[in-house]
């Protein structure tokens, strides 16, 4: 290849940068438009006979003499016609604010995230049960619930759900047995703990909250181990029945593994606890 005079190279670079083609030496673009023209004459464009002459005698050409109406290569014409912001960028740009909101929303969700059932249960216990049962369930006005005590009374979670829902008087008159009939120190009976009353929580907790606080007493205060497949993978790590079915329906009501209401209108269980094959962790 013959040496291209420096002033032509510079003119090429200036032209390219004026057209927004970036670095003057970009891919294969070393050829000046004048050199490229004879190889591929632009169809339809006014062919410039002077181009060939200019290419033949580049050394003779002085910058002042050639006020170039050079034919533009097709890629230059395309670059000129191109809109400054490509059309595909429009939806991308339009989506940016939406993405920002989603991103920030994701961050604040992590900070204020929905508590798990056990976390919610801890809050309820501290507010509504600890005054009588002690902050760690050691007992007081109410019976001790920690160290496996509540699990001895209720090896099956069903019985505990009902007892907390109904309280002492809802369970029956003084002396009504409740919980496991084979409890090691004898079955518990209502009003047998210094004659104190366990209040009913049917009016003050939702069924979802009942499950939360009962789980907290069993799993955290009393150390019940529940099967890993009974812990759901949703945000609340909700407890499931052993068959994998949810314990709460979409409206937050307790349901049996068959999907029917767990409590009847009086708050009594529709499914009887099985003390020999307990559900909900016996610790
Ligand atoms: C006003 C005091 C008081 C409050 C508040 C209270 N309890 Fe009780 N709880 C008792 C008493 C008293 C008993 C014993 C009941 C009986 O002998 O009839 C009891 C018994 C229990 C038992 C049965 C324990 C066993 O081994 O027999 C459970 C479970 C229980 N309470 C859970 C709860 C939960 C859950 C809360 C909060 C949502 C709560 N209690 C709030 C006083 C209370």
Which residue, chain included where needed, has tokens 């002492």? Answer: 168
- Neighbouring C-alpha atoms within 13 Å toward the C-beta of 232: 16
The span from the CA of 149 to the CA of 154, in Å, is 9
State the pLDDT confidence band at 100, using cuts at 50, 70 and 90.
confident
pLDDT by residue (tens digit) across 5-52? Answer: 788 888 878 878 877 765 444 444 444 444 444 444 444 444 444 444
The span from the CA of 213 to the CA of 14, in Å, is 77
Take residue 57 and report the two structure tokens written for it: 């005698």
Take residue 138 and report the two structure tokens written for it: 């050691």
Question: Which residue among 142, 162, 203, 280 has the greatest number of ligand 1 atoms within 8 angstroms of its CB, and so is best to mutate?
Answer: 142
Average pLDDT of span 196-214: 97
User: Which of 183 and 113 is assigned the larger pLDDT?
Assistant: 183
Domain coordinates in residue numbering, the chain: 6-81, 114-283
Strand locations in the chain, DSSP E?
A: 177-178, 188-189
The span from the CA of 245 to the CA of 230, in Å, is 9
Distance 166 CA to ligand 1 centre (A): 10
What's the pLDDT at 233?
A: 92
SS3 content of the chain, % helix, strand, coil (to 5): 40, 5, 55
For the beta carbon of residue 247, count every other beta carbon within 10 angstroms.
25
Say if CB 160 and CB 137 are below 8 A apart.
Answer: no
Q: What are phi and psi of 240, to 5 degrees?
A: -115, 160
What's the pLDDT at 111?
A: 47
Smallest CA separation from ligand 1 atom 29, residue: 160
Distance 194 CA to ligand 1 centre (A): 12
Contacts with 224 (C-beta within 8 Å, 6 or more apart), sequence order: 151, 218, 280, 281, 282, 283
> Pocket around ligand 1: residues whose beta carbon is below 6 Å from it?
128-129, 131-133, 141-143, 145, 149-150, 153, 160, 163-164, 168, 188, 190-193, 196-199, 201, 213, 217
Task: Write the DSSP symbol of residue 84.
Answer: S
Handedness of CA 188, 194, 195, 197 (dihedral sign): negative
pLDDT by residue (tens digit) across 153-168? Answer: 999 999 999 999 999 9
Q: Which atom of ligand 1 is nearest to the CA of 152?
A: 26
Check residue 158 and give left, alpha or beta (phi > 0: left; psi -120 to 50: alpha).
alpha
Name the pTM for this structure.
0.67
Say if CB 150 and CB 218 are below 8 A apart.
Answer: yes
What's the pLDDT at 131?
A: 98
Which of these ranges, 101-110, 120-129, 179-188, 261-270, has the smallest mean pLDDT?
A: 101-110
Average pLDDT of span 207-222: 98
Q: Which atom of ligand 1 is nearest to the CA of 124?
A: 38
Task: Write the DSSP symbol of residue 177.
Answer: E
Judged against a pLDDT cut of 90, whether residue 84 lies above it is answered with: no
Take residue 166 and report the two structure tokens written for it: 């109904």
The span from the CA of 283 to the CA of 268, in Å, is 25
Say if CB 34 and CB 73 are below 8 A apart.
Answer: no
The span from the CA of 6 to the CA of 212, in Å, is 82
Place domain 114-283 in its CATH homologous superfamily. Answer: Cytochrome c-like domain (1.10.760.10)
Residues of the chain with pLDDT > 90: what percent?
Answer: 55
The span from the CA of 9 to the CA of 212, in Å, is 79
Angle, CA 40 vertex, CA 37 and CA 42 arms, to 5°: 80
Average pLDDT value for the chain: 83
What's the pLDDT at 46?
A: 47
Maximal C-alpha separation, the chain: 121
Average pLDDT of span 116-142: 98
């Amino acid at each position: 290849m013959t040496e291209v005079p420096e002033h032509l190279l510079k003119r090429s670079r200036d032209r390219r940068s004026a057209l927004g083609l970036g670095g003057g030496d970009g891919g294969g673009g070393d050829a000046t438009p004048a050199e490229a023209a004879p190889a591929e004459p632009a169809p339809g464009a006014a062919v410039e006979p002077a181009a060939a002459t200019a290419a033949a005698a580049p050394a003779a050409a002085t910058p002042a003499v050639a006020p170039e109406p050079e034919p533009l290569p097709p890629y230059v014409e395309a670059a000129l016609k191109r809109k400054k912001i490509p059309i595909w960028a429009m939806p991308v740009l339009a989506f940016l604010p939406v993405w920002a909101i989603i991103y920030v929303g994701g961050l604040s969700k992590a900070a204020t995230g929905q508590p798990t059932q056990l976390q919610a249960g801890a809050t309820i216990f501290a507010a509504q049960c600890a005054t009588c049962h002690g902050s760690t369930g050691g007992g007081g006005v109410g019976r001790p619930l920690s160290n496996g005590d509540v699990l001895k009374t209720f090896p099956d979670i069903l019985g505990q759900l009902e007892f907390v829902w109904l309280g002492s008087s809802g369970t029956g008159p003084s002396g009504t047995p409740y919980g496991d009939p084979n409890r090691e120190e004898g079955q518990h009976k209502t009003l047998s703990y210094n004659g104190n009353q366990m209040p009913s929580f049917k009016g003050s907790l939702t069924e979802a909250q009942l499950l939360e606080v009962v789980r907290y007493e069993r799993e955290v205060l009393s150390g019940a181990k529940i099967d890993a497949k009974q812990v759901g993978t949703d945000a609340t790590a909700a407890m499931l029945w052993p068959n994998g079915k949810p314990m709460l329906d979409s409206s937050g009501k307790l349901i049996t593994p068959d999907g029917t209401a767990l409590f009847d209108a009086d708050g009594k269980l529709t499914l009887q606890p099985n003390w020999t094959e307990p559900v909900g962790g016996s610790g």
